[in-house]
Chains A and B, each alone.
Chain A
Amino acid sequence: MAGRGRGRRPFGTDSSISRGEGLPPGLQQPTPVFPVMEQKPLPLAGGEEAEYLLALKQDFRGVMKNLPFFIKPAAAQRDVQRYSDKYHSSEQTNSLTDWNLEPSCLHVSGFQTGDDSPESCRSTSGGESEKKEEHEQSSEEEEGGVKKKPEEEEGAEAEEEYDEEELEEETDYIMSYFDNGEEFGGDSDDNMDEAIY
C-alpha cells in the first residue's frame, strides 16, 4: 500500500513521488481490515509460570461470577406473575459488605430482605426522591439497627435454608413443588434408550 490509510506518512514525504509528477491513483476499495505486517510478532512466552498465571486468572474470573458482587440485571419479566416467584431462592445480599463503611444513603432496606424482583425495582424508581429523603432522615436509626439486622437476618435465612425441604413459612408445599420444570432433563436418566421429549 503506497501511502494510504491511517498511520501512514504525511503526504509529501513519499520518496517514490518526485517533483512534477501527478498525484497517485485514487483508492478503489476500503483499506484491508487486517493489513499485512512486515514483521511477524514474537511468539508468546510459554513455561510453567505463564501457565500457572493463566490458570489463576481463569479461576479468578470463574469465582467472581458466583460471588454476590456479580450483579445481574433484573431478571427477565415472566409472561405471568407466578406464586412460586416468592419462593425462588434469592442471593444473600446482606453479606455483601459492612454497612458501616458505606455512606448512609446507600443503605437500602431492600438489601436486607434480598428482594430483587422486578416489581420492587419498578416501585422504588417511581418514588425514588421520597425514598432518598426518608433514608437520610432514618439513617441514624438504621445505623444502630443495621448491625443487628445482618446477624438476625443470617439466622433467619439459615433457618429458612435448613427448613426449606420441610417447613416453609406460609405454605404447606415443599420447595420442589414450585419447580416449574425448567431444570428437568438436565441430569441424565439411567436408561438412555428412551427418547427425551
Chain B
Amino acid sequence: MTAQEVRLCGLLLQEHFGEVVEKVGRNLLKSGTQNLRAIVHETGLSVDLVKKSLCVLVQHGACSFIQGRKGPGSPTEYKAHCDRVLRILRYPRYIYTAKTLYGDTGELIIEELLQRGHMTMSNTVKTVADRLTQSMDEGSSMDYGEVSATFSKLVETHFLQRCPPAAGAGTTGSSQTANSTSAAPASSTAPTPESFPDCYRVPQVTLIGRSKRSLASEEGEDQRNAKKAKMDPETHGDEGIYWQVNFERFHQHFRDQTIISAVANKLDQTSSEIVRTMLRMSEVTTSSTAPCTKPLSANEIFRSLPATYNIPRHILDQYLTLLVDDPMEFVGKAGESGGGMYIVNLNQALANLARATLESIVQERFGSRSARIFRLLLRKRHLEQKQVEDFAMIPAKEAKDMLYTLLSQNLVQLQEIPKTPDFAPSRTFYLYTVNQLPTARLLLQNCYKTVANLMERRLFEAKESKRLLEKSQRIEAILASLQASGAEPEQLTEVEEMITAPEKQQLDSLRLHVNKLDSAENQVDETIFLLESYISSSTKPTS
C-alpha cells in the first residue's frame, strides 16, 4: 500500500462514490484492519455516514469484514482492498471487451454489474432488458429470454461469478458458523469465490416475458403501473444468489489479446492466428496462474484452425518451427509426439512484453542512445563503464553522462566488487546493471502517480470553469425543454446566444482538455495492466 496507490485510490473513490466514502476508504487503506469505532474516531464523521460508506464499499467488493480477532465478542473488523479499488480505472475496458464478445446485451450486463457491485440474475436481466427496450424502436421490446441467454453465456465462459456467501454476516457469534451450511472456513483469510463449488452454476430462474416500455407521455398510467409492480414483489427463485464480475478472467483475456497482437506485429497475421487458436484451445484447461499452457499437438492445432485459414499441414509445421525459434520465445516445443507438442510460454511472454515496455519508456524519456545502453545492460547483465562505451559504440564522455542520468533516475544500479577488503575506489570494480523486476515496480509506481496527477489536473480544470460549466448546463436544459414543448427556431437561437462566443471557445477548449486527460488515463492504465501482470506472474512461487 504505497503512498501513490493510496492517493490514487482516494481520487477514484471520490469521483465515483463521493467524499464521505473517500475519507473512510482512505483511512482504512492507510491504517489497515480496523473496527467501526476506530474508523469513526479517526475520520471524525458521524456513525451513520461511516456505516453507509462501509456498506457501499462492501457492496462493491472494495472492503471485506471479518469477525474480531480478539475473541468471540469483539467487534467486526474491516479491511480495504487497494487493488480492487484500482480496478475502477479499467472498467471502460471491461465493458468494451464485453461489447466486442457478446454485443450490446453483454455490454449492458457488465455495465450494470460494475455500477452496482453485485446483483441477482433476475434484477440484472430486468434492468438490462428495460434499458435495451428504451433504445429500440417504438412497439418492440426486449425479451427476457434473450438477455438471460447472454447472461448464461457470460457465466459459462467464467466472465461472471457468484459472490461467495458471506462468512459471519448476519450471525452474531462465531460459534454459529461451526456447522453452518455456508461452509465458511475458520481461517483468517477470506475464501475466494472459486473455492465454492457452485461458483459458476446458473440458478433456475423463472423469468418469462418481455420488458415493459415506460411511456413518458402517459405519466398517470405509468405511475399506477409502477405502483402495482412494486406492490406485488415478484420472486424469481434466485433470491440471495448474487453475481459479480470476474476480473481475473478479463485479465486473462487481455493478456491473451496482448500476446496475439505482439506476435502479429513481430511476425505476421497467420502466426498470430495460430497462437490465437492455441490460446483458445487452452482457455479452459489452463488456470490463470499457470506459467505456460498445456501441451498441444500439432495435429490438434491443425484441426482447430479457423476454416478461413486453410493452410496445408507442412506450412503449419514451418510456422510452428518459426515461432519456436523466435527470440521472443512466445511458443515453445514440449515434445515430439503427435507431430510435435507445443506450448505457449505465458510467463515468458509477459516478461518479454514488460521488457519491451521498459525499453520504450527509457527511449521516449532519455533518447535512443540511452535506450541502447539500457538494452545492452539488460542483455549483458553486468558491465564496467569502459565496456559499456565499447559495446554501445558511443563516445566516452556522452556515455558517461547518459549512464549517470539513468543512475540518478534509479533505472540502472551500481554494483561494487572489491578487490581488497577495504573498498578503495582505485581497487574496486564498479559494474552497472539493470534488474528487470525492481525497475518494473518502480515504473509501476510512476504510472500510479501519473494517473493521480492526471485526475487532479482534470478536477482542477473543471473547478476553474465551474461557473461556466453550470451556465452551459442550464442553457442546455432550457433548450431541451423548449424543444420538447415545440418552440420556434427564433426562441432557440435567442437562448443559444446567451452563451457568448469567447465563452463558447472557452467551453470547447475545456472539453478538449478534459477529454485528453481522460484518454491519457485510459492509456496509462494499459501500461499499468501489463506491468502488474508481469510483477504478479514473476512473484508467484513457482512449483
Residues of A within 8 A of B (CB): 7-10, 13, 15, 38-39, 41-42, 44-45, 49-54, 56-58, 60-61, 63-64, 67, 69-74, 93, 96-106, 108, 110-111, 116, 120-122, 124-125, 128, 131-132, 136, 139-140, 143, 151, 154-155, 158-159, 161-162, 186-188, 190, 192
B residues neighboring A (CB under 8 Å): 15-21, 36-37, 40, 46-49, 51-56, 58-60, 65, 75-76, 91-93, 95-96, 111, 114-117, 163, 166, 168-172, 223-224, 226-227, 230-231, 233, 240, 242, 364-367, 397, 400-401, 404-405, 407-409, 474, 477-478, 481-482, 487, 491, 494-495, 515-516, 518-523
Q: Please, how many angstroms separate the alpha-carbon atoms of A173 and B405 in the complex?
A: 75
Distance to closest chain B CB from A31 (angstroms): 15
In the bound complex, what is the Cα–Cα distance between A6 and B47 (angstroms)?
Answer: 43
Inter-chain contact B516/A108, CB cutoff 8 Å: no
Query: Cα distance A136–B169 when bound, in Å?
Result: 12
Known contacts A42-B364, A70-B18, then 10 further A-B pairs from the complex at CB < 8 Å, ordered by chain A residue = A7-B408, A13-B407, A50-B522, A54-B515, A56-B92, A74-B46, A96-B55, A120-B48, A131-B47, A159-B227
Nearest CB in chain A: distance from B487 CB, A:
8
Known: A50-B522, A54-B515, A96-B56. A108 touches B48 (CB 8 A): yes
CB neighbours (8 Å) of B231 from chain A are 155, 158
Q: For residue B398, which residue of chain A has the nearest CB?
A: A15
CA distance A169 to B495 in the complex (A): 41
Contact B51 A69 (CB under 8 A): no
* Known contacts A120-B48, A187-B478: A9-B75 contact under CB 8 Å: no
Residues of A within 8 A of B367 (CB): 38-39
Asked whether B18 lies within 8 Å of A72 as measured between CB atoms, the reply is: yes
B residues within 8 A CB of A96? 52, 55-56, 59
User: When the two chains form their complex, are residues B224 and A162 in contact, meaning their CB atoms are under 8 A apart?
Assistant: yes
> Contacting A100 at CB < 8 Å: which of B37, B169, B223?
B169
Contacts of A102 in B (CB 8 A): 54-55, 58, 166, 169
A188 touches B519 (CB 8 A): no
CB pair B20–A72 under 8 Å, yes or no, is yes
Contact: B408 with A140, CB < 8 Å? no
Give the total number of A-B pairs whose CB atoms are below 8 A apart: 199
Given contacts A39-B366, A106-B51, contact A128 B166 (CB under 8 A): no
